[in-house]
Structure 1
């Protein structure tokens, strides 16, 4: 029977095999945990530690961080480059093999190259590293072999050696790729902190995410404005104001003075409470029933601040006023939900 034929046969996954799978799963996680703990233990508190030296090169880099690898190391390199780029360090991935065929042109003398090869002997790197060094770019190597050619050629070598792979055959990169990824994450987090990278900075590079919406969306981006904002004068009869509330569909109306300043608000909730005590609505004007000095938000404030106000005061609508108190818009809780700020 050929290997191909064997692979096509169904596997009887009985209870015994299920228990074996669970045993291997726990063993894999334990081996990779041990590898990470060993990696942590190798980091010293000395400024001369290789990690500290790598950080110095990266902080001083005036170009970009170019992360390169091939095979499984290439996948890890691509993820590290993406993490660096999203946390404030301009970075890109260059495939080591493609670098041999033109992509070396993506690297400049102002860049820092992070070359990843567990053996440290990948033929592609052996070919391109001397060229990168002649360019004047700095080189950080991540390998599992201090004596490898890549480690010896690097300005800084980060040792990601593991005692064994989680693969039962000790062949497939498993614990070693986990350790390498962790080292890349450690660099990214340390750089993030050193650069003073904040939530707002993260949001700018992730505008499509939930955090981006929360930190980049302003009130003016989601508020209703112009004719969509219900507004009446204080001398308007209550029945007329109710028509305005119905037409605009915000379950409230603002009350404005002759200068357009928001001086009051009247909501559906106010109407329900009024029904309990008043017989003749025709005799009432808005100045009689409105809540004076309504809570407002500035259009330049973050939308999430409007959410906080609504939640704190347990209200569903909020008037938007400029620095002079002039009504420029209105917000309903549904507007914020629709914009995915909530």
Structure 2
């Protein structure tokens, strides 16, 4: 069987051209109004569609949820058989139908209007019943489908998805959604691991006693003071202001006592510590901390706040335990 590669290219080009034409829609007032309603929604953005439009709706709803916009998908047929109980007045509904005249969608729209739920139509037909009766209409126009018969939803569903992505990501940007926020909603898998922060991965809590000493102490006093701390692989050194000034690791102590024997106990912390040591902040990604561990061949990193005051310590094993890939 020989397949028509040139036709396949035409499919891609036709869909790409259709998506490119959407720039006028997303630069208009209706799109801005839709974004504003999604941004100000105090409950769920309820996305609904049937058939291929329903599949696109599920993806749009999933994208919204993953970028901090609470969203659920509502099947229009199931909705009128009890699932409307999932919807409340504070919700906002995005109703998807290319022709804008699907019976199930129009019926759902009427019920939502009776419930005082605001609605956004995502359709290809600006003069359709759906477009005319929703609070906001996003009508991207009519396109010839890429299907050889001109029937199977292809170009139209690609446009629906593109507009849905534009809505979700535009609102995401307006909300100043960060990598750290993204990580909260994606804790599983390799993606979640890459987005875990130092604060989430370090083996310390706010109630833990930190291994911190003053630089004026002797090594003997340092060992005594930190004997009950949670981690003893390294000790952080802070000045009178409480800011991090250095670190002493187990390796530093081994070298000290090999060179000085028992006399090392009387040495000051300041004389042994590594000043201007590497450190990370709580908001630093664990992947960035891993890069520092590998680059400088170290095992511990002090964790500091914005004022450079120690708030914890992260060990290379903390990151290994979350199976972070480089």
Does TM-score exceed 0.5, indicating one fold? yes
Tell me what 1:10 maps to.
none
Matched residues in 1 for 2:92 and 2:310: separation?
53
Q: How many residues align?
A: 300
2:289 to 302, 307, 328: 307
The yes-or-no answer on 1:217 pairing with 2:196 is no
Normalised TM-score (structure 1) = 0.70
Tell me what 2:219 maps to.
234
The yes-or-no answer on 1:66 pairing with 2:46 is yes
Matched residues in 1 for 2:20 and 2:274: separation?
63
Flag the 1:153–1:309 CA change in 2: closer, same or farther, 3 A.
Answer: closer
Contact 1:219–1:302 under 8 Å retained in 2: no
Tell me what 2:60 maps to.
80
Matched residues in 1 for 2:26 and 2:129: separation?
22
User: Secondary structure of 1:114's partner?
Assistant: strand
Tell me what 1:240 maps to.
none
User: Secondary structure of 2:42's partner?
Assistant: coil
- Cα displacement (A) at 1:177: 0.7
Tell me what 1:31 maps to.
14
Tell me what 2:36 maps to.
56
Contact 1:303–1:336 under 8 Å retained in 2: no
Tell me what 1:9 maps to.
none
The yes-or-no answer on 1:140 pairing with 2:120 is yes
Contact 1:262–1:327 under 8 Å retained in 2: no
The yes-or-no answer on 1:285 pairing with 2:248 is no
Normalised TM-score (structure 2) = 0.73
5+ residue gaps in structure 2?
A: 210-217, 222-231, 238-243
Matched residues in 2 for 1:255 and 1:142: separation?
57
- Aligned-residue RMSD, C-alpha: 4.3
Matched residues in 1 for 2:42 and 2:309: separation?
47
User: Secondary structure of 1:66's partner?
Assistant: strand
Deviation track 1:70-129 (CA, whole Å, cap 9, x = no partner) reads 111111111111111221221111001111211122222222111101111111122222
